[in-house]
């Protein structure tokens, strides 16, 4: 299963509402997760099951979608949110999208 | 504190072998599946392999199947990745990651990674 994220990069400002898309090459129900990766840091699991917020993740992050089309929304961008975001499909052979760099 | 610490990376010639280790602490190791994920320089994340909590089931990405072997020693809370027939395209930062809960196929704790460079 291939995952295609858009855009590949995104310029935004603090306070902006940001939407990142992830499209799967075939239907995956809600079997999708989102991660945040900052340079020199380990990835952070943000969302699983397409829309369930991982414990400890700020509520400005939200996810939606089912089937083949998914989105990650950051409602009001904070300085610490500038990072690269990856979607991941959750089956026995998981795969990641190519990433979206938020700058 | 949940912690994963990888070791064993380094420079190896094409066709060579390396064995990576991942020492786990702060959680009941044998109750969680574990993964290896890699990131090549300037590239995105690539899932490599997963092993069940008791070691009975293993899964591999097509890119490494037949060359890499994942294993674990639950008595020592340690995960391994035996990498044989290494290629230049295997050059990457290799990280171990703990399976999440309740969705086992997520990864909720990651190590900092160990760098593998395949070059002559």
pLDDT digits (tens, 9 = 90+) for A25-61: 999 999 999 999 998 899 999 999 999 999 999 999 9
Mean pLDDT of chain A: 95
Half-sphere exposure of A42 (CA within 13 A, CB side): 19
Q: Round to whole Å and give the CA distance between A26 and B17.
A: 36
Segments of chain B with pLDDT less than 70: none
Two tokens at B95?
A: 């990280």
Rg (CA), chain A: 13
In a mutagenesis test of the B interface, which of A4, A48, A51 is the best target, namely the one with the most B β-carbons within 10 Å?
A48
In chain A, pLDDT over 90 holds for what percent of residues?
94
Q: How far apart are CA A28 and CA A68, in angstroms?
A: 6
Give CA–CA dist B56/A13, Å, rounded: 48
Given pLDDT bands bounded at 50, 70 and 90, which one contains residue A91? confident
Give dist(CA B9, CA B6) in Å, integer. 8
pLDDT of A76 higher than 80: yes
Please report the sign of the dihedral spanned by the C-alpha atoms of residue A5, residue A6, residue A9, residue A13. negative
* Mutation target vs A (from B43, B45, B68, B94; most A CBs, 10 A cutoff): B45
pLDDT value of residue A2: 92
* Cβ-Cβ contacts under 8 Å, A91 against chain B: 105
What is the reported pLDDT for A21?
Answer: 98
């Amino acid at each position: 299963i291939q995952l295609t994220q858009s855009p590949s990069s995104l310029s935004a400002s603090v306070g902006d509402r940001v939407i990142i898309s992830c499209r799967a090459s075939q239907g995956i129900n809600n079997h999708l997760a989102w991660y945040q990766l900052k340079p020199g840091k380990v990835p952070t699991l943000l969302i699983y099951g397409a829309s369930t917020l991982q414990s400890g993740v700020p509520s400005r992050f939200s996810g939606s979608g089912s089937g083949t089309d998914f989105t990650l929304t950051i409602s009001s961008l904070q300085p610490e949110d500038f990072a690269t975001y990856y979607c991941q499909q959750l089956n026995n052979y998981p795969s990641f999208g190519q990433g979206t760099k938020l700058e | 504190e949940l912690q994963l610490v990888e070791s064993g990376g380094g420079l190896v010639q094409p066709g060579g072998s390396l064995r990576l280790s991942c020492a786990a602490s702060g959680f009941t190791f044998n109750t969680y599946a574990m993964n290896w994920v890699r990131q090549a320089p300037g590239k995105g994340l690539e899932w490599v392999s997963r092993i069940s909590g008791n070691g009975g089931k293993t899964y591999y990405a097509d890119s490494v199947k037949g060359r890499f072997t994942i294993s674990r020693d639950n008595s020592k809370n340690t995960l391994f990745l035996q990498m044989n027939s290494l290629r230049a395209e295997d050059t990457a930062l290799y990280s171990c990651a703990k399976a999440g809960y309740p969705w086992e196929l997520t990864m909720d704790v990651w190590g900092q990674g160990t760098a593998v460079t395949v070059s002559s």
